[in-house]
Structure 1
Amino acid sequence: MLKVKSFQLTFLAMIVLSILFPFIGQTSTKNIDIDNDKRSDRITIKLETGLSKDEMPAVSFKHDLHTQALEGKCAACHLEKDNAFVFKFKRTNEKASMDLYHAECIACHVEKKASNETFGPEAAECRTCHIPDKSKGSSWEEISFDKSLHFIHESSDQIKGMDPLIKDNCSRCHHKYNEKTKEIFYIKGEEESCVYCHKPVKQDDIRSIQEASHDSCVKCHQTFKGQNIAAGPTTCEACHDKEKQQKIKKVVDIPRLKRNQPDEVAITGWETGTQTKDNYMKAVAFDHKSHEATAQSCKVCHHETLKKCNDCHGTDGGESKGGFISLEQAMHKQDSTKSCIGCHKELTKNSDCAGCHFQAPAKKDNSDSCKTCHSLDKKQLQSMEPAKVAKMALKDLSSHYKSVQIDKIPENVVIDVLSSEYKPSSFPHRKMVQAIFLRVEKSDMAKTFHNDQAGLCMGCHHNSPKTLEPPKCASCHSKKGPDTSDGSDGRPGLKGAYHGQCITCHEKMEVKAVAATDCAKCHEEKK
């Protein structure tokens, strides 16, 4: 009988333990978020030495979570030097060590637990922090210090330069480094982007862009907030969360930033006054001022330095400083947004352009496009200052835009060739064409490359010559539709052509008034 009771008690204890077991391991990490959620504040803590097969994975540390738990008390983790926090954990300049992190982090967790507060993992709970591929849970987004943010800082009365007597504050952020004295200094008119010196990864004694920007930007924000002065963010998500970035104030009307740059420039791979072969391409008249207005920062084009393009990219492309990329490649590479053509191609994805460009991508053999840019003859550049020649050419180019007389455009077009279940479609042709004209006229680039409104007809009437009386769609698209068995080239039938082009164009150009599923909007149903 005693054996039976003993067995029953043991069995009962096992049931209780099995119920409580899932929660026992959680009591030491009360309220700590350990799943693989997407966060913008994840920092990978990894020692400088490489991982061996016996070492634990790097730690994915949620910075903002700890900042909140510590009520914003940075001193709990960061030491001070020169009246500012050093953004290293519990040290100023020493290398990180496993013992340092284990001792300090776990001690803090134990202290929080004793105070009955939210706390993190304790000793022997290694896998709570060391989780493989934890970086996949990051939603961190790089923040772009665009010209709007630059203007906000540049125009601030609170941010002072190195010399408080000088009105502008450029020297507060921009500097050069003296290798001999190991000091920074400022030269007016030689300001450049931070990333020209501070690369993604630390190089020799030059800090990475991440370290340099946090040391400068976050410290500055913290200093101002400590003085009750409105300042920028001090948390990870405020800078690196995509939704938060979209809420950052945007200044639209920004004065031109002067940095000794030209208004117009003649771009060429050859030099005047030299015995250059006559079969080189004509030089390009480049509107530098106009591009400044549309670019968000100088480094959109000047990605490594503010020097001229051909200082790094020669005509032969044989220089290491230019990555062995020739001037021609630097300007024409279609799959690079750093090149002229690549950037223009990317802009055709905007809603104002995508309605036509989604089905008619730029062709490499389009010689008319070449002539649009390459217009400066060598003789012109030899007889006059290149910048003046470029200015004249650009002024002349802006006068080439040819308008079409509105009465030449059919007002309404009735499409009845397929009417069966539905009535014929009455298409407001002129209204639609005028809407496209207005979108083109908003863009200097579009007006330059589409300088004849008649050519815009080819957006819909594709694969036909430029004319105000293009052939009907049925000239190329049959009612029957594609049939590869009879040698057809696979072009869609008339119904597919209409619906494919119209509906896709509406989607690309974000036309909300006509839904793809609203058939009766275009053609009433027969009753």
Structure 2
Amino acid sequence: MKKILATIVVFAGACAFLLAAVPGPAAPDTPGACSADNETAAGYILLREDVLTRPAVIFNHEKHVCALGERACADCHAKKADGSLVFKFPKNHPDTDDPDSLMQAWHDGCIGCHSERAQRKEPSGPRTCGQCHVKDRKSMAFRHMPVLPSYYEPLRDTYHGDCIACHSEPLRKAEHAPVLDWKKFHILRSTLPEPEQPPSGFDYQRHYKHTRTLEKDCGLCHYLSPEKRQAIEKEGKEPECRDWLLEPDPEGSWREQDYAHARCVNCHFARVTAGEEKAGPLMCSGCHTPEVRTPEQMQDVARPECEQKETILITSGDAAVMDAVPFDHAAHQLRTTSCQDCHHNGLQACRECHTPTGDEKGEHITLAQAYHREHAGRSCVGCHNRQKQKGECAGCHHQLPATLESKSACTACHSGSLEALQRKRAPAAPESLLPHDTKDSWHIEKLGTDYEKVDFKHLAMAKALAAVSEKSSLARYFHVDEMAVCASCHHYSPLEKGKPVPACRTCHDAQPTAAASRPDLMGAYHQQCLGCHQKMGGTEEKMPHTCEGCHAAR
């Protein structure tokens, strides 16, 4: 039973417990407002325990908030001595693992409230088992067990509903049924819907609204230890913005749902009670909105100013064996949605937790791994790889291996000088890179007998790729070699300005062979050309996705 209780996830104010949100219709136009039906993804919560003898309860939190009023949180949630709410349910949760006691406490909380409202002739909720525990496949989990006589009773409904129904439509005689070994027949355990609770994403815009409303009082949200506060006071100073961001709060992290909901919703509730004009939402959909703002949509939003240096050299200290990495903080702020995109546990330097050899504070992730993990969202390399998955980059990069093994991979970042940030790379005109006798376009013939030749506009395509590359600040910085754009198609070939490259058929056989370790010529053309078109997501007119878009049928 303790294992069951450990699965409870308490969602403060916005949610409740045992969370696995059930997808619902779109949220109303005004987040946090009561709509006609309150059917929002943020409002639904699936209450379940794997040992329930009845189907799980699908609980609509927002419908209850609208019915009881935003100030009625204390009807369901207990209060501390200081008046703040404890977002657990039921209020009088028994200190026991006894299933019957737990069930009774939940039923007293829900059915008791419904009964009291019904006695007062007020709109009330259901008071019978089946009205809350609705038999619905979406909220039922079946155990993996064989259908033997001893197991028949708990599986009766499933057996009758599925097996017999299937054998009855259309009606057939028993002898027509295939012979089955019934002792090996199993009911497979089904999976419940994945949580789809929209994130509450505290991005730059939401942070700016809080900063402006709260008059830059960092202490309302951020932590400063008593020792550090005393040290600052001894110097006759007031805490600055940066002072509030270097120490983790011992009571919890903003990335923990329980802690964040308790702090946020209680603050909103206190401001509502005090009659503040700007108080913040109390309902799920007020914060948990399906819309996610992009960095481009927040270009005009002021970024936090915390006395940080805008250009720095990142180094691992005395243990460094590579040159330092120049880093433009201001430029990266414009390309992220929040400070937490990179800083996941305060604003201290990465090396404070991630040491060269690994430390428990950094979950034994070394400093090199923290910066270089290729699939980590917060590492430098991982973030850059994620950018390369965007359409304008993926056209070329989807087939290029993402590796740090090339000779130029290290020096592209580890230049050791801030001057590298000021370096402006002027891309060469594509026509200046080609051999002088290269035609602007030609026909690709070896594509079988079903289609006409392809009119391949080589120079126009090279110019288009160069233009896409020039628009990206990431590409402008990392496309060090002037032949970088050419490498997207001419992979594995030595590339040098003004010199010809091997034809595709040099490596890719015109006739497919079973022993070939690489695509044949037709496969290579389609993987490169069609693959690029599909990844970039262009129109059929400019980037055809169909056969006839490139070559007419004969």
TM-score normalised over the length of structure 2? 0.67
Match of 2:263 in 1: 212
Following TM superposition, by how much is the alpha carbon of 1:510 offset from its aligned partner in structure 2, in angstroms?
1.2
For residues 196 and 366 of structure 1, the distance between their equivalents in structure 2, rounded to whole angstroms, comes to 42
Which of the residues 226, 231, 236 maps onto 2:284?
236
Structure 2 residue matching 1:355: 3-state secondary structure = helix
Structure 2 residue matching 1:414: 3-state secondary structure = strand
For residues 514 and 360 of structure 2, the distance between their equivalents in structure 1, rounded to whole angstroms, comes to 53
Following TM superposition, by how much is the alpha carbon of 1:511 offset from its aligned partner in structure 2, in angstroms?
1.0
Matched, 1:462 2:491: yes
Structure 2 residue matching 1:143: 3-state secondary structure = coil
The gaps in structure 2 that reach 5 residues or longer are 1-20, 25-40, 96-101, 142-190
Structure 1 residue matching 2:512: 3-state secondary structure = coil
Match of 1:496 in 2: 523
Matched, 1:146 2:198: no
Match of 1:188 in 2: 240
Match of 2:340 in 1: 299
Count of residues in Structure 1 that have an aligned counterpart in Structure 2: 442
Residues 36-55 of structure 1 aligned to structure 2 (within 5 Å): 39-43=41-45
Paired amino acid for 1:216: C
Conservation of the 8 A alpha-carbon contact between 2:313 and 2:324: yes
Structure 2 residue matching 1:463: 3-state secondary structure = coil
Structure 2 residue matching 1:191: 3-state secondary structure = helix
Match of 2:349 in 1: 308
Deviates more, 1:68-77 or 1:414-423: 68-77
For residues 392 and 342 of structure 1, the distance between their equivalents in structure 2, rounded to whole angstroms, comes to 24
Which of the residues 428, 445, 449 maps onto 2:474?
445
Q: Which has the higher contact order (CA 8 A, sep 6+)?
A: 2
Match of 2:165 in 1: none
Conservation of the 8 A alpha-carbon contact between 1:40 and 1:138: no
Residue deviations 1:34-87, cap 9 Å, x none? x966543344668xxxx8979989865321232344465635545788998736
Cα RMSD (Å): 4.2
| Distance change in 2, residues 1:462/1:231 (3 Å) | farther
Match of 1:382 in 2: none
Following TM superposition, by how much is the alpha carbon of 1:504 offset from its aligned partner in structure 2, in angstroms?
1.6
Paired amino acid for 1:287: D
For residues 247 and 112 of structure 1, the distance between their equivalents in structure 2, rounded to whole angstroms, comes to 45
Conservation of the 8 A alpha-carbon contact between 1:106 and 1:123: no
For residues 213 and 453 of structure 1, the distance between their equivalents in structure 2, rounded to whole angstroms, comes to 51
Residues 47-196 of structure 1 aligned to structure 2 (within 5 Å): 61-70=59-68, 74=72, 77=76, 86=85, 88=87, 98=102, 101-111=106-116, 115=121, 117=123, 119-122=125-128, 127-128=133-134, 136=193, 138-154=195-211, 156=212, 159-161=213-215, 168-176=216-224, 178=226, 187-189=239-241, 190-192=243-245
Conservation of the 8 A alpha-carbon contact between 2:540 and 2:549: no
Which of the residues 444, 468, 489 maps onto 1:415?
444
Match of 2:553 in 1: 525
Conservation of the 8 A alpha-carbon contact between 2:224 and 2:247: no
Conservation of the 8 A alpha-carbon contact between 2:46 and 2:58: yes
Matched, 1:403 2:409: no
Paired amino acid for 1:188: E
Following TM superposition, by how much is the alpha carbon of 1:265 offset from its aligned partner in structure 2, in angstroms?
1.7
Which of the residues 337, 342, 355 maps onto 2:377?
337
Match of 1:471 in 2: 502
For residues 540 and 23 of structure 2, the distance between their equivalents in structure 1, rounded to whole angstroms, comes to 38
Match of 1:23 in 2: none
Deviates more, 1:95-104 or 1:172-181: 172-181
| Distance change in 2, residues 1:148/1:96 (3 Å) | farther
For residues 84 and 52 of structure 1, the distance between their equivalents in structure 2, rounded to whole angstroms, comes to 34
Conservation of the 8 A alpha-carbon contact between 2:204 and 2:302: no
For residues 227 and 192 of structure 2, the distance between their equivalents in structure 1, rounded to whole angstroms, comes to 37
| Distance change in 2, residues 1:70/1:427 (3 Å) | farther
Deviates more, 1:359-368 or 1:191-200: 191-200
Following TM superposition, by how much is the alpha carbon of 1:348 offset from its aligned partner in structure 2, in angstroms?
1.3
Residue deviations 1:455-513, cap 9 Å, x none? 211111211122353222222222212422xxx21x12211211222122111111123
TM-score normalised over the length of structure 1? 0.70
Conservation of the 8 A alpha-carbon contact between 1:78 and 1:90: yes
| Distance change in 2, residues 1:391/1:472 (3 Å) | same
Which of the residues 374, 378, 391 maps onto 2:418?
391
Conservation of the 8 A alpha-carbon contact between 2:57 and 2:134: no
| Distance change in 2, residues 1:127/1:57 (3 Å) | closer
Following TM superposition, by how much is the alpha carbon of 1:268 offset from its aligned partner in structure 2, in angstroms?
2.0
Conservation of the 8 A alpha-carbon contact between 2:394 and 2:535: yes
Residue deviations 1:186-229, cap 9 Å, x none? 932223399866337979xxx62232222235655x569x66x5
Matched, 1:364 2:404: yes
Paired amino acid for 1:234: L
Paired amino acid for 1:64: E
Conservation of the 8 A alpha-carbon contact between 2:313 and 2:327: yes
